[in-house]
Structure 1
């Protein structure tokens, strides 16, 4: 009798005429006290009530979207606010938006979503780390003001049969004055300041777990670059041209403003420029790293959806356009781009591995 109490046994009918299922009934996920985890997501679908207890509510509040009951009208209103705030910022400051300025721009749609406090709690640390990164670039130049000229120059010559791509592109396209396509190229290059924070905000609205992972990856990439600027200061092609190593090669525009400014030139109002910026910072190229990181992140998110090929083909245009722009303008060698891509891939893979190892929601 005692052994029967301590072991699971198949039920037997008391009444021989009654039908009883043979075999134990397995519990269903809905019978448990916590929600089932599907695909690493620790949040309920938007608009669904919490059915699995307080633990599920806390997980959704921490990792889920900042607002779950987001309807189409509110989304449209927030999008209009974002476009209006961004247009005003570009009109005042130009495309070279610093993290502190962008923080204020993105606050507009966050307020329209009625999640201003949550936005500030999530984005202020992110923006602060990017400001610190910007200052660390300048500090690296103060500590190591004399860059290397030949390693990256010789590498490009080796890769392209004795030709430096920046030199060839300027021979073909530059005629001494800025043409319409030069203005387009410069605008594309300055999208570097626009796209990554915008992607971060879109991910935040979708699911904060995505934003946290993207922000961690971008900050890791940034400080890895800052450390490299200190350990191996590298001069870009235009600096080699000034030294006579690449005769005739210039920086386009030839006499650039110290900071890209908008119609009213309020470029000095920024805490991101307390220290003079690094005039070189060529290896690894931050534009390439950020552009390639945005591309990789979007592709990894959409890879299991029907949008994967659109993300793969369409998304590749952004880093490729950035790469062409900086090579043509004399700001970077091709090897700078390759190393920037390598740093971005390593940062993405490293944070993804750490995320999985710690069991964090994706």
Structure 2
């Protein structure tokens, strides 16, 4: 994916901030672009008061960059780093934007495109542009990404709130404020609903390529224990058809076999898009939803739009953005108090019942 000018500016600012000063020719090599491009970027950033220029070199302003991103009326500037601006995080961003507007703050967005190694540069760029606090949804896909790319967040010079990410217990990031969906509760709602309809242990069909997917998997195992289901967890790992079509087809065949030979009558699928693809493919393989298999999707982004509208678990995405922004604004508006406790807020998903679980 081609890097945007804003992303390149963030990387440039991060390099200069780290070094204090740098030659334009050196920056071009570090950024992998031409000297002409760097000179143009430096001119733009200098005009905004984010860098100082002197004879082929640039330096970090002595008193820090001018806060050029100030909000109307003098309110705080809030930087938001998200892995994507579409699908799940579109609602999170919308909630944050609405809450910022109500608080008289300005929200400035940076997108990492699920590249955790870029999160720090995005934060440096936001700080350089005058952000007073940060909302951060790191681009982690698993625990290894936090270990490799997460330590910098514990050293931020401004208040920060994590969104939809739960750091490793006991890690420095565990002390940060955070607002997350309680996916364990969401999975329990789904499994309990299916069991209440008379189904046995439902099948789980889920990816393993995001924190939400991993939380759904662990929540599924906990739900079986909580509900006293004696059967072993019936989990089928999959990949989205756009990522690995062959693996997706293998998973569909496994689901078909579980239904036709294993007596499975219900399934929870993460995420919505995969659930819609699953229903379509199973129909081609002779498995009907909901007659042969009741299906619940997880995310509720497009679940209602399937040929058979899908019952879905709906994490409170917009409220995640709203609560996190309100928490950050409260931190920015209060006198720093070492006795003020941090907050870990867990918001509960809801189950929206539709045709895919109704015979």
TM-score of the aligned structures, taking structure 2 as reference length = 0.28
Q: Which has the larger radius of gyration?
A: 1
- Which gives a bigger RCO, structure 1 or 2 (Cα 8 Å, sep 6+)? 1
Q: Between Structure 1 and Structure 2, which shows a larger proportion of strand residues?
A: 2
TM-score of the aligned structures, taking structure 1 as reference length = 0.28
